[in-house]
Structure 1
Amino acid sequence: MVTTVKGGSFVIDSADWNSVSTPEDLSGEQLMIAGTTEHFIENEVLPHDEALEKLDYGLTVRLIRKAGELGLLGVDIPEPYGGLGLDKVSSTLISEKLARGSSFALSVGAHVGIGTLPIVFFGTPEQKKRYLPDLADGSKIAAYCLTEPSSGSDALGARTTAKLSEDGTYYELNGTKQFITNAGFADVFIVYAKINGKLFSAFIVERSMEGVSIGPEEKKMGIKGSSTCPLILEGVRVPVSNLLGEPGKGHLIAFNILNIGRFKLGAGCVGGAKEAIALSASYANERTQFGKPISSFPLIGQKLAEMNIVTYVLESMVYRTAGLIDGILQDIDLSSEQAGVQSAKGIAEYALECSIIKVFGTEALDRVADEGVQIHGGYGFIQEYKIERIYRDSRINRIFEGTNEINRLLIPGTLLKKAMKGELPLMERAQSVQMSMLEPTSVRSETDDRLGEEKRLLATAKQIFLLIGGQAVQTYGMELEEQQEVLSRLADMMIRIYAMESALLRAEKITARSGAAKGGLAEAMTKVYVCEAFAEIEQAAKQNVAAMASGDLLSLQLSVLRKWTRHTPVDTISLKRRIAESVKTEQRYTVIR
């Protein structure tokens, strides 16, 4: 059962496993969609892998249209406009399963996500009727144009201009957009420009419009099979009917679509990590050294276990968030005039969680890919082995959809804004925690709860965050946004808390529904992750305290942290060996055995 909860409330409230969406909840229809996507990648995309990596525009377009014929492009598009109008969990599944298609997955992802969703959520009925059916079946391919040569993270600093004609029938657009995915073959571009150099607005621009031209392909480190070119606009006359949303409200579209893009990127990272685990486990079982497979060596097993754990945690976070987004968007009538406003409000509710997914997911995939190369040894550095490409391709993820540095600033910043608006009782809870600093803390007690200690550590982690976050607000006031190092550590604490809770709730759900035997592996992975993440939260808290306090106050704060963080760590070595055995036996990512 999916319930609507306030975005960011996970730092102050407890959640119940009944309230979260997990991969184990997938319906028969959703599993069929996943199977269709896997079959398409296996039989239509991978046989052309080498040609796709050489940037064959024609082949990419043909395959995107085949995906459209299968319905894989229309999941997020309402039925009246040629789509399937399915839930975000189904959309998440497709994003995950497409990941095995490497660069092709990026081409499809840019089309169905940031390219198409602006029209789905913010288009007028006429715009939807005109564009969405063709985007749903792949007759037309979309691209998203926000970044400029002089403005990347500072999106609102865009210099592309739009000037309304004297007769009021069209806008004249001039400017250049940079690093545009799908630009080489896209038909429809979502372009952001400033009306009269002031009002940041969005426009639907067609490739066929006079004055539209495409620059040369960028020579990239990875994702070589995707098109990345500049879009050049020189006196392009865009009909006023192609203004997307209201003049000066382009930021509502840009930022909320980026939120969805960040979330979908995290889903793709799940798929990439799973493929890297399968490749690495299979190789480790086959590769022999000193007369036995390298998978039998504990340090290789440890790598496989850690790869599996971080993927399990990410997957738990992604599907939990998909459920939250479904819950808040499911009742919006996308054909109504208020659809854009309602959609923006709904998506913005979980902007914080989307940023968390983006940061954690991209860094998790980088870690998994890096360890995958290490397990392959010298062969991991050779292009013949796909782990080499996964490693190269993964690096861009920490840059686009807002760099991880920008997202780390957004995470606590968004939480504080919600608190200032009265949407979350954040400061009240923080003050309560400060008042209880000197009270005796609960110690570990015997309990029948299999994850009782992990729950206690999670609750303590939230308490620590509220203490340190509250002190940061008191110390810096309005100048807190300038303290990027402090904000980054607060973000890391929030990321770890969301990750810990998502993994814990999923493990509880598996055990409650399928029994202790089925839930044993998930519980083991949760125990390891909570133990290690709690240590990271403790370290981040100490670093912030040292930056904000001195003298007696510093001593008091450190004393409180020592008291709160006192616990007996679990035997992560034994747990990781157990997890590694499952991965080696299955030769793939595994949660339930």
Structure 2
Amino acid sequence: MATESVRNGGRFVVDDFAPDTIATPEDLTEEQRMMADAARAFVEGEVKTRDEELEKLNYGLTVELMRKAGELGLLGADVPEAYGGLGLDKVSTTLLSETMAEASSFALSVGAHVGIGTLPIVFFGTPEQKARYLPDLAAGTRIAAYCLTEPGSGSDALGARTTARLSPDGSHYLLNGSKLYITNAAFADIYIVYAKVDGDHFTAFIVERGTPGFTVGPEEKKMGIKGSSTCPLFFEDAPVPVANVLGEVGKGHQIAFNILNIGRFKLGAGCVGTAKEAIRLSVGYAAARKQFGRPIASFPLIGAKLADMNIAAFVMESMVYRTAGWIDEGLSQADPNAPDSGAQAAKAIAEYALECSIVKVFATEALDYIADEGVQIHGGYGYMQEYKIERIYRDSRINRIFEGTNEINRMLIPGTLMKKALKGDLPLLRKARALQAELLQPMPLPSFEDVLSLESYRLAQAKRTFLAVGGLAVQQLGLRLEQEQEVLVTLADIMIDIYAMESALLRVKKLIAREGEAKAGNAIDMTVVFVQEAMERIEQLAKKGLAAVEQGDSLQVQLSVLKKLMRAPQEDTIARKRMIAAKVKEAGRYVV
């Protein structure tokens, strides 16, 4: 039975949280850091030394290195100990995903294998399926791929046309159809394939390489991630044993969507690792490159770029680890040995589907920004392939498409919130109604004497703004709101900034409690700057949302209420960014 502690999904828009309710990178144990050190040593010693070969799509080398990663335990972190893995928590595997990110395309091959390739069997496999496949997957002696996308169904996963029909003797399902853009396709041994039984019942299957009627198509020629395999798959009466149905017939959507949720936040973890690498490369270049007789790092505008990059990485890191900690908490309540273990896991993961989408959108867009600024700092050299920032720039672009496009994820964020509210899981509508009367009352500003008291106030006002705009949208549009995509995306962007602000704010408060204000100075500066700039975005988003649902005098009333909600002292972000930049330049890397 779920406890109150694991019912946090979506509550950040209506409730406040204490700092000790979230996981942060500062909480990592010595054992977790040692695991990350092992992964880092592997990347530095085995992967980066053969980087050029990997980027030429050397299948044999990729497989060889994945075997070595398996021997080191780097592929079995999510696999239970009973099946040859390490059975680590999600915070630990998040750290591994972050650390492996510097392996570029190879990190993607590993990520697809350990995440969306292996986790369907971990969470939804029968004991027999787990015993048969997980030990090899953990060891890297067999490699996995996840096969959902089709030529005619990308974001609309349930629109898949691949079919499965039971053979006359009832022993096999015969698969027919195709899949597109499948990572690890060329060298995988195990494929998690989705098909519709009798053309109707969406179902997951475990398909093995060598199955008659199953073929792998040619490599796609991609913009980036060139060292990873991406191929189409084809099925022509491919027989898959009934014992290889994963989960229940007709319940494939539970597997597909919940595995994508895990994939989304793990993608965020990879973005954190790549963002840190981009910052390190950029500050190193800026310190060495001289123009007008001095290093370009000494120029304020370059410093401002480094500060903005560091702030974006800090906030995304805070969001990723917070979400990982909450998912850990939810999964800890599930019994992996219960007959309904898959359903329990699905429920625990689905609780934070909204947060996983938020992390995915924020992290992938923040990384694109960081990579772009990294190229700009490198100038013309950033456009040359001999500098890794060029590859980071190209490789990062796919992340906004992976695991559901950012547009789809933006639509899911408010949609999932409303579903939770209608089910009674969130007091969203009640709080929105109660807020209406409150907003008409005077709103005198409190005193802001304590550190981060202004930021805490502004976060609370951001939540009220969301409730005000969202409540009005529901009231005015009713069921039509589902079709008003621009309004939904506006609400999603406000929610993303709220989750981002709160994650950073809770992290720095936890840091202050542990180490004091002096040692948390840089984190305080980053949080102050981010909250100031996020509130500026939220104000513009709220104006756009209000104008879409109100007009005339009613709109003017709502805009005057918004003005009261946004009223707050202005921070000098230029001065704070200069202090942040100085810390980054002194460290020569990302710094908290």
Q: Is the 8 A contact 1:360 1:495 kept in 2?
A: yes
User: Does 1:532 find its partner at 2:533?
Assistant: yes
The corresponding residue for 1:60 is 62
Deviations 1:91-124 (A, max 9, x none): 0001000100000000000000000000000000
3-state SS in 2 of match to 1:230? strand
User: Equivalent residue for 2:559?
Assistant: 558
Deviations 1:288-311, CA, capped at 9 Å, x for gaps: 000000000000000000000010
CA distance in 1, matches of 2:237, 2:319: 45
1:111-130 equivalences in 2 (<5 Å): 111-130=113-132
User: Match of 2:535, as an amino acid?
Assistant: F
Secondary structure of the residue aligned to 1:178 is strand
Are the aligned partners of 1:430 and 1:470 in contact in 2 as well (CA < 8 Å)?
yes
**Structure 1: distance between partners of 2:83 and 2:93:** 17
The Cα shift of 1:332 comes to 2.3
Q: Deviations over 1:124-175 (max 9, x none)?
A: 0000000000000001000000000010000000000000112211100001
Find the partner of 1:259 among 261, 273, 276. Answer: 261
Per the alignment, residue 47 of structure 1 pairs with 49
Contact 1:174/1:234 (<8 A) preserved: yes
For 1:73 and 1:575, the matched residues in 2 are separated by 41
Provide the C-alpha distance between the structure 1 equivalents of 2:6 and 2:181, rounded to a whole number of angstroms: 36
Displacement, 1:3? 4.6
TM-aligned CA deviation for residue 434 of structure 1: 1.3
Percent identity, aligned pairs only, is 66
Give SS of 1:46's match. Answer: helix
Aligned equivalent of 2:356 = 354
Say which SS state the counterpart of residue 203 (structure 1) adopts: strand
Which stretch has the larger CA shift, 336-345 or 459-468?
336-345
Moved over 4 A (4+): none
Q: Matches of residues 15-414 of structure 1 in structure 2 within 5 Å?
A: 15-414=17-416
| Distance (whole Å) between structure 1 residues aligned to residue 336 and residue 305 of structure 2 | 46
TM (norm. structure 1) is 0.99
Give SS of 1:205's match. Answer: strand
Distance 2:456 2:25 in 1: 22
Equivalent-residue separation in structure 2 for 1:171 and 1:41 (angstroms): 41
SS at match of 1:143: strand
Instruction: Tell me whether 1:8 sits opposite 2:10 in the alignment.
Output: yes
Matched, 1:421 2:423: yes
Whether the 8 Å CA contact 1:3–1:324 is kept in 2: the answer is: no
Mapped partners of 1:6, 1:512: distance in 2: 23
Q: Aligned partner of 2:501: which letter?
A: M
The count of corresponding residues between Structure 1 and Structure 2 is: 589
Give the Cα–Cα distance (whole angstroms) in 2 for the partners of residues 313 and 451 of structure 1. 16
The answer to whether the 8 Å contact 2:278/2:392 transfers is: yes
For the residue of structure 2 that corresponds to 1:516, the secondary structure is coil
AA of the residue aligned to 1:43: G
Quote how far apart the aligned CAs of 1:442 are.
3.2
Work out the CA distance in 2 between the residues paired with 1:77 and 1:482.
Answer: 41
Deviation string, structure 1 residues 324-352 (Cα, Å, up to 9, x no partner): 00101023232321110000000000000
User: Over the residues paired in the alignment, what is the CA RMSD in angstroms?
Assistant: 0.9
CA contact (8 A) 2:335 2:344 kept: no
How many Å apart are 1:5 and its aligned residue?
Answer: 3.8
The answer to whether the 8 Å contact 2:448/2:454 transfers is: no
> Is residue 120–residue 334 contact of structure 1 (8 Å, CA) maintained in 2?
no
The match for 1:516 is 517
1:475 Cα deviation after fit: 1.3
Q: How many Å separate the matches in 1 of 2:161 and 2:134? A: 29
Residue 400 of structure 1 and its aligned partner are, at CA, apart by 1.1
| Structure 2 Cα separation of the partners of residues 548 and 561 of structure 1 | 14
Measure how far apart 1:399 and its partner are.
0.4
Distance, in Å, in 1 between the alignment partners of 2:89 and 2:247 is 24
Distance in 1 between residues matched to 2:274 and 2:446, nearest whole Å? 38
Which residue of structure 2 lines up, in the alignment, with residue 482 of structure 1? 483
Within 5 A, what are the aligned runs for 1:545-584? 545-584=546-585
Partners of 1:587 and 1:11 in 2: CA distance = 37
Contact residue 259 and residue 348 of structure 1 kept, 8 A: yes
Structure 2, unaligned runs of 5 or more: none
Q: Is the 8 A contact 2:331 2:348 kept in 1?
A: yes
Question: Counterparts of 2:52 and 2:436 in 1: how far apart (Å)?
Answer: 59
Question: Do the aligned residues in 2 keep the contact of 1:173 with 1:233 (CA within 8 Å)?
Answer: yes
Q: CA shift at 1:4, angstroms?
A: 2.8
- SS of alignment partner, residue 68 of structure 1: helix
Query: 2:7, 2:351 within 8 Å by CA — same for their partners in 1?
Result: no
Q: Secondary structure of the residue that 1:517 maps to in structure 2?
A: coil
* Bigger Cα displacement from structure 2, 2-11 vs 220-229: 2-11
Deviates more, 1:564-573 or 1:94-103: 564-573
Paired with 1:444 and 1:297, the residues of 2 have a C-alpha distance of 38
Looking at structure 1, the residues matched to 112 and 233 of structure 2 have their Cα atoms a distance apart, in angstroms, of 15
Task: Find the aligned partners of 2:448 and 2:569 in 1 and give their Cα distance.
Answer: 13
Determine if contact 1:147/1:179 at 8 Å carries over to the other structure. yes
**Contact between 1:444 and 1:567, CA under 8 Å: does it hold in 2?**
no
Unaligned stretches of 5+ residues in structure 1: none
Quick one: distance in 2 between partners of 1:469 and 1:118?
A: 35
Residue deviations 1:25-84 (CA, integer Å, cap 9, x gap): 001110111101100100010000000000000000010111101111111111111111
Q: Which residue identity is paired with 2:11?
A: S
Q: Which letter maps to 2:158?
A: L
1:385 and 1:335 map into 2 onto residues whose CA distance is 49
- In the alignment, the residues of structure 2 paired with residue 517 and residue 562 of structure 1 have an alpha-carbon distance, to the nearest angstrom, of 34
Shift of 1:476: 1.2
Judge conservation of contact 2:101–2:273 (CA < 8 Å) in 1: yes
Cα distance in 2, alignment partners of residues 202 and 247 from structure 1? 8
Alignment check: 8 A CA contact 1:183 1:227 kept: yes
Q: Deviations over 1:220-250 (max 9, x none)?
A: 0000000000011111000000000111100
Name the SS for the 1:34 alignment partner: helix
Output one character per residue of 1:270-300: Cα deviation in whole Å (capped at 9) or x when no partner: 0000000000000000000000000000000
Say which SS state the counterpart of residue 234 (structure 1) adopts. strand
**8 Å contact kept, 2:173–2:240:** yes
Query: CA offsets per residue over residues 475-497 of structure 1, 9 Å max, x none?
Result: 11111111000000100000000
Cα deviation for residue 568 of structure 1 reads: 1.6
SS for the counterpart of 1:436 is helix
Q: Determine the C-alpha separation between the residues in 1 that align with 2:581 and 2:6.
A: 37
TM-score under structure 2 length normalisation: 0.99
CA contact (8 A) 2:98 2:273 kept: yes
